[in-house]
Chains A and B, each alone.
Chain A
Amino acid sequence: MAGDNGNEELRIGVYVCHCGSNIAGVIDPKVVAEYAAALPGVVRAINTPYACADSGQNLIKEDIKEYNLNRVVVAACSVRMHEPTFRAAVSEAGLNPFLMEMANIREQCTWAHGHDPEGALEKAKDLVAAAVAKARFLVPLQMIKVPVTKRAMVIGGGVAGISAALDLGDQGIETILVEKQPTIGGTMAQLNKTFPTMDCSI
């Protein structure tokens, strides 16, 4: 695979999301896709109304097979939003999830430059080119599996902490409830009757 041992031909697919009018209301995703199509290693570049919707994900999955893609770039929203979505999508199509790279052209482009569509377009092209550049050097990675100690700790013995500790206990999980004061109860234990039941707070 390219970037791995350099033997395999680089085949990058680029998907430029409209996100309804969130992106397409400021820039033309088609122009960005056409721009991406000319970048080295890109064999498929297309705009899609909602990349995260089933239709968008299916497009990516089908293309991975049809175009034999070995890298995917999704130009859409923040990685904090949909990176897991697209990693899962490429994974379902048989591609290692770490061979997918995102370009954030919504939060960090069209939403931040709504009054500067020309500047936003130039920036979106550069962000896509940078994602393609990084994609070129991505390598397949495996998630690291770690064991899980089946014990919980709740820090703070107020009403939220007590509620969490009881629920964890009821799930059968051994739980340590830590409270810095000499008694649990927190602020609520100091209160007189409480709304809406107007009963004792303890």
Chain B
Amino acid sequence: MTKARIDARFAALKAEGRAGFVSYVMAGDPDAETALAILKGLPAAGADLIEVGFPFSDPMAEGPPIQRAAQRALRKGMTLKGTLAAIAAFRQDDQDTPIILMGYTNPLVTWGYEAFARDAAAAGVDGVIVVDCPPEEADSLADALDAHDVSLIRLATPTSDDKRLPVVVSRTSGFVYYVSVAGVTGVKEADAAAVAPHVERVRKASGLPVAVGFGIKTPERAAAVARVADAVVVGSALVDEVAAGVDAGEDVTPNEDVTRRVLTKAESLAKAVRAARRIPA
């Protein structure tokens, strides 16, 4: 059921002749209830796939927006277990939208790879991205995920040269995430023209669809990337809406203002991605 959901979604996008919109949100940000309302609202707002971050205290590849999102979530007590519970709740209403978990190695080591793979699959997780677990360290995790038919999604980057790329795409399925800039999330801006040849290289090396993320904040930028990639990932810009809502309003749960802000932002990005190939640059 799991890999199948990612493959089915990319096949449908291909049939429609458009790129997918992948929205990233942090579990438990700003609180469990609001985050679940956001998660449940994302498909209607136009998210074709959803990445759900599970918070970690020391997220070394994140820029300030997602670092702060993780801190907010941890302060409200979000855990990996709570993250899987939120995904299970989402799955009660939505059997089609692929969910990709994204985070860092240590909470998975703590859980145990086998138990984590089993529980993630049961919750309805389709793929997992572990930012600080490169192929060299991933065999035991990949074995565990394979046993439950959950994809281990790999990151290709501007530093993935022709020698490195085959290593990166080994033992992967679903899609490949191309990190469009050398850097942390949400700081540098992605350049669609510079990204295009890399997307082609990664597609060729992996035989899989390529989603592009890091540094895509505006509908314009998302549309530009949507013309060259199979999917566009936006994270920090959505997380910024959570921060803005929290800063602007009272600390209430659920925070409907935060939910509205995030889903409105997601809608504008999704519209731009959906229309990109119909409207020439």
Are A and B co-members of a single complex?
no
Query: What residues of chain A have their CB less than 8 Å away from a CB belonging to chain B?
Result: none
Q: What is B's interface to A at a CB cutoff of 8 Å? A: none
